[in-house]
Amino acid sequence: GENVEQHPSTLSVQEGDSAVIKCTYSDSASNYFPWYKQELGKGPQLIIDIRSNVGEKKDQRIAVTLNKTAKHFSLHITETQPEDSAVYFCAAKEWNNDMRFGAGTRLTVKP
Amino acid sequence: DTEVTQTPKHLVMGMTNKKSLKCEQHMGHRAMYWYKQKAKKPPELMFVYSYEKLSINESVPSRFSPECPNSSLLNLHLHALQPEDSALYLCASSQESYRWGEETQYFGPGTRLLVL
């Protein structure tokens, strides 16, 4: 089955800096890669996703890149703000199989 | 609107109690899920309903019993739980049948369960 590894487990940045979180997956058949943000006491919220036929996707300060050859994808947050502080989960899914989550990254943005 | 609602927000129950968690979505989604999330861990899939039929049960103990009364509602009945079952229980939904394609899952806020 799919195995998703996520790094780093914790990340601390100054407000205004960029943050990058990386994930690798094992199953080359995976074709859908969402990123979720989970704030304390809340459920995971989808912030961006990418499908295997696309290499990069942007939504304002958030971007995701996908390298299918290397089987890794990354979340990029620019101009970070304190409200970006949360736990971020990557996930990978292949057709006809479960979605697998990474272990999560706790991002802290210091004012 | 991509809202999934869950009730209650918090639940404390004894090991002999019977309680139910409820989930609702009005997005016309045909797949609904229950996940369990322990502290500092990712969500773990428990059950999947697709077109109101149970399609996946990830070897969950029988003290957890899911029910899908209609396409908008999903329940999780709890009976004789153990303290280790304390966790955040998340409901999610997606537009189409779970395993068909690249389906975005939308999560509810969760029910925080404490078993004493």
pLDDT by residue (tens digit) across B63-93?
999 999 998 999 999 999 999 999 999 999 9
Block residue for tokens 């004789």: B80
Nearest CA in chain B to A6: B42
Q: Tell me, what's the pLDDT at B103?
A: 79
CB contact under 8 A, B102 and A32: yes
CA A80 to chain centre: 15
Indicate the range of A80-84, B49-53, B74-78, B109-113 predicted with least confidence: B49-53
Q: Tell me, what's the pLDDT at B2?
A: 67
CA A105 to chain centre: 9
- CA dist list (Å): A101 to A41, A44, B38: 19, 11, 13
pLDDT band, residue A29 (cuts 50/70/90):
confident
Q: Tell me, what's the pLDDT at A12?
A: 98
Q: Tell me, what's the pLDDT at B56?
A: 79
> What are the residues facing B93 on neighbouring strands?
B32, B106
Task: State yes or no: pLDDT of B100 exceeds 70.
Answer: no
Overall average pLDDT of the B39-50 stretch: 93
Residue ranges of chain B whose CB lies within 8 Å of a chain A CB: 2, 4, 6, 40-43, 45, 56, 88, 90, 99-110, 112
Q: Tell me, what's the pLDDT at A101?
A: 95
Q: Is B115 helix (H, G, I), strand (E, B) or coil?
A: strand
CA–CA separation, B88 and B36 (whole Å): 6
CB contact under 8 A, B105 and A34: yes
Judged by a CB distance cut-off of 8 A, whether residue A29 touches chain B is: no
Task: State yes or no: pLDDT of B97 exceeds 70.
Answer: no
**Cα-Cα-Cα-Cα dihedral sign, residues A40, B90, A4, A65:** negative
Closest approach of chain A CAs to the CA of B62, in angstroms? 21
CA–CA separation, A29 and B107 (whole Å): 24
Nearest CA in chain B to A44: B107
Task: State yes or no: pLDDT of B1 exceeds 70.
Answer: no
Contact residues, chain A, for B43 at CB < 8 Å: 44, 89, 101
CB contact under 8 A, B104 and A34: yes
Greater pLDDT, A48 or B57: A48
B79 Cβ partners below 8 Å, 6+ apart? B17, B18, B63, B65
pLDDT band, residue A14 (cuts 50/70/90):
very high
Q: What is the mean pLDDT of chain A?
A: 94
Nearest CA in chain B to A47: B106
